[in-house]
Amino acid sequence: MSINSNRVAIVTGASRGIGAAIAERLAEDGFTVVINYSGSEAAAEELARKIEEKGGKALTAKADVSDVEAVRRMFDAAEAAFGGVDILVNNAGIMQLARIADADDAHFDRHIAINLKGSFNTLREAGKRLRDGGRIVNFSTSIVGLKLETYGVYAATKAGVEALTGIMAKELRGRSITVNAVAPGPTATDLFLNGKSEELIDRMAKMNPLERLGTPQDIAAAVSFLVGPDGGWINGQTLRANGGMI
Ligand code: NAP
């Protein structure tokens, strides 16, 4: 039996991309996983089936992370199904690009609502409900360090997430719960690839000395470390998983 058996992990935005790879990896690690999604129901159900076929345990949970009540209901559902929650992986996020001078209010408000308020909504529930000994992994981006043009509003929401990470790690003193963030570099998912030319994708892939894009599995491996037994001494940190880009 795995050391992680009986531990329950909520992974937000787990229907596609990095989140789906995280859910799959944590199920392989022995965790029971809650696959959160907002729109891609068929993909979430398909992933749950795949995990169960391999002998894992999974539940799908529709909740827009920007919706406070939906987030509460997701935690309620996880507790009702499995008796408690140990791990929160705050992966759900959106990215649209615009120069700051050209970004409209809807662009700003949507990023804040999903990336920053969405992370806050789940963190607040986790802070009240996670079992002692739990783990929280938030999602930032290496762009916070790299500061590329057109990523301003997106990067600002993720800088906010990094601030929440360090402070919450301290606020959970005494409960043996770690709070960290993973900050990927360019990773081959819809979020990164959509709308970019082959030439631009190639150029960005070569920005790191390993000269390739990250894969969702690369990022899932970093999360697996942080939530697993070997990651227990890492707390309040942002881990840039980007092949050495910055
Ligand atoms: P993705 O391929 O676009 O997938 C996004 C996931 O988030 C989907 O499962 C989507 O589910 C879900 N989602 C979106 N809005 C949601 C909401 N309001 N509530 C709940 N779920 C929602 O993105 P990704 O590349 O895997 O990104 C995952 C995380 O890594 C994000 O936080 C992103 O900022 C970060 N990141 C990515 C990269 C990269 O290069 N890919 C680099 C740095 C950081 P539905 O389809 O069901 O809505």
Parse the chain into domains and list their residue ranges: 8-185+216-240
Distance CA 183, CA 154 (A): 13
Distance CA 92, CA 94 (A): 7
Average pLDDT over residues 15-37: 98
Average pLDDT over residues 47-67: 98
Q: DSSP character for 10? A: E
pLDDT score, position 223: 99
Distance CA 62, CA 36 (A): 6
Average pLDDT value for the chain: 98
Contacts of 50 (CB under 8 A, 6+ apart): 24
DSSP for 154-165, please give it.
HHHHHHHHHHHH
Best residue among 24, 189, 196, 239 to mutate for probing ligand 1's pocket (most ligand atoms within 8 Å of CB) is 189
Looking at the predicted structure, is the pLDDT value of residue 68 above 70? Answer: yes
For ligand 1, residues with CB inside 6 Å are 12-19, 36-40, 64-66, 91-95, 114, 118, 139, 141, 184, 186-187, 189-192
Looking at the predicted structure, is the pLDDT value of residue 16 above 80? Answer: yes
Question: To 10 degrees, what angle do helices 17-28 and 41-53 make?
Answer: 20
Whether 37 is catalytic? no
Looking at the predicted structure, is the pLDDT value of residue 1 above 70? Answer: no
pLDDT score, position 4: 80
For 141-169, how does the pLDDT look when each residue is reduced to its tens digit (9 = 90+)? 999 999 999 999 999 999 999 999 999 99
User: Which stretches within the chain are classed as H helix?
Assistant: 17-28, 41-53, 68-82, 105-111, 118-129, 143-146, 152-171, 190-193, 198-205, 216-227
Give the pairing of strands 178-184 and 87-90: unpaired
Set 4, 154, 162, 220: catalytic member: 154
For 207-229, how does the pLDDT look when each residue is reduced to its tens digit (9 = 90+)? 999 999 999 999 999 999 999 99
Percent pLDDT > 70 in the chain is 100
Percent pLDDT > 90 in the chain is 98
Best residue among 38, 125, 162 to mutate for probing ligand 1's pocket (most ligand atoms within 8 Å of CB) is 38
Task: Decide if 10 contacts 75 (C-beta within 8 A).
Answer: yes
State the closest ligand 1 atom to the C-alpha of 95, by its place in the atom list counted from 1. Answer: 34
Average pLDDT over residues 103-121: 99
Which amino acid appears at position 113 of this protein? Answer: A
Considering only CA atoms, which of 240, 244, 228 is closest in space to residue 178? 228
pTM over 0.85: yes
pLDDT score, position 3: 75
What's the token pair of residue 109?
């408000």
Alpha carbon of 191 to ligand 1 centroid (Å)? 7
Please tell me the CATH superfamily of domain 8-185+216-240, with its number: NAD(P)-binding Rossmann-like Domain (3.40.50.720)
Alpha carbon of 104 to ligand 1 centroid (Å)? 21
Query: How far apart, in Å, do the first and last CA atoms of the chain sit?
Result: 39
State the closest ligand 1 atom to the C-alpha of 194, by its place in the atom list counted from 1. Answer: 3
What's the token pair of residue 92?
């759900």
